Structure 1
């Protein structure tokens, strides 16, 4: 009798297990993690929705803010005992490197890290989306062929640039220009001498150019193309030597909590499925061939040597502030 019962149980298990594995239903797991990020709200929420749909029973709490406010939140956490985020999704590698030097990141790498270009990953974090810092000019205004052109008489008093203390893309732009012999911090002095104005964010630049407050400025390619598609009277320009490519990395923190779920979430964002979600929110994915916003054929792109810039972010920012006070 016992032998017959055991045989029946084994038969039931053999029949049920394959059906469950091939059901295509969301993976059943439980847990909750907190994400800190500066990426756009639509992108963060779309990725969270896709992840939790595929991982039934999980929850991802979101804190989203521009880079300056994100840094303030992390600093506040540290004052009261430790980082409260399980996952950090920054908008530039200089910010993430600073978190790394503060010992806030676990040793982690995405399972598909080899698919991500080497310049967009490090030992403890990987890039999951790209920002292209480009020029935007109002229709009828001369198109700058190089970044240097924006310091010329055609743009006197009519150029806007974002604040690197507020926006990660502006910090990445500062890193590139300051570390390039052809530009250096002298480029910012030339902009200032030509009457350039600092505003808060790349979107503020875009709005100002669209309204005619400024003739030209520095902004993000994806936002600029979207505004143009909606009828904004602007042109999007990739001046020589190229648009500044800034990668946005993701990492798992040292917070005591559901480390496995945090790693699953970070890995999802870096995966092909997660990258496809990113691309559908008008953001450039870091994995090639998945679509996303427009990149003109032959558009020039420059990538800062981030390894040479690591550790210099605050010093660069302090020098910048002597040119464009806050």
Structure 2
């Protein structure tokens, strides 16, 4: 009997390849663990001591030498370092495609930026058009929908028992923390108190940016800071108890896992609609302009007074683990047969 093909899943070097590191890392580890019929291996140069991940400072070509197919995430430049069938999965826009922990910088990519043996996939239709433009592709990449953590797919239904707004996203300027504070300070609704989770993922310690945002949260009489919730099950319970979820990113998202999770629970969810986030509107997400504090506040008031219908069953269908893995398997089979 022939040995199963070996698939190497390559991390970004931004964070360790563990489910708790961040949304991208949870997807990568979940794909690797759930892909049937293959021998999957996690590859990372970020040594976190995990026995499940292969760590090496050798050139990438040597690290994946034993793999039949390589799955690279968010790093188009790395496709030139190997000579194997490769699936490049893009989770974010071009600013996130460089392997740096410093200030993101755009890549100078042209029409020859992707080798012929590489299949490109993106997590949203918006990102497919974005990748086609920035990578000079001749056709749109296939959309590989991310999967929602089963804790949210099978989590408790929305009940709003906590009667407070919840901001469960990372404490980053681009996630709309300051815009959220400005909006909730304008609310007259009695349930307008907002809880921010101290979520520094994928970093383990607060950065100067995090500290500045924490100080801004603590200075507001309408906001409070709560500890980060590491358990997906506990986070699902906490989100289901919120009166609404706020995820008003001020920069385009590839898609947005936090609003996906809240919509899967049926929780009213307010987003900015930038990038792939807009693709969540058909499921019932409420779109607002976060930089207009009055409009943002009005959207929150409307959602609290008349919660919209959420198509949580549609989210659970279109972003299930099985659906995501089925498309990934098709992408791998296609690149093998090319």
- Which structure carries more helix by proportion? 1
TM range (shorter): 0.3 to 0.5
**Scaled by the length of structure 2, what TM-score is found?**
0.36
**Scaled by the length of structure 1, what TM-score is found?**
0.37
- Which structure carries more strand by proportion? 1
Which structure has the higher relative contact order (CA within 8 Å, separation 6+)? 1
Structure possessing the higher radius of gyration over alpha carbons: 1
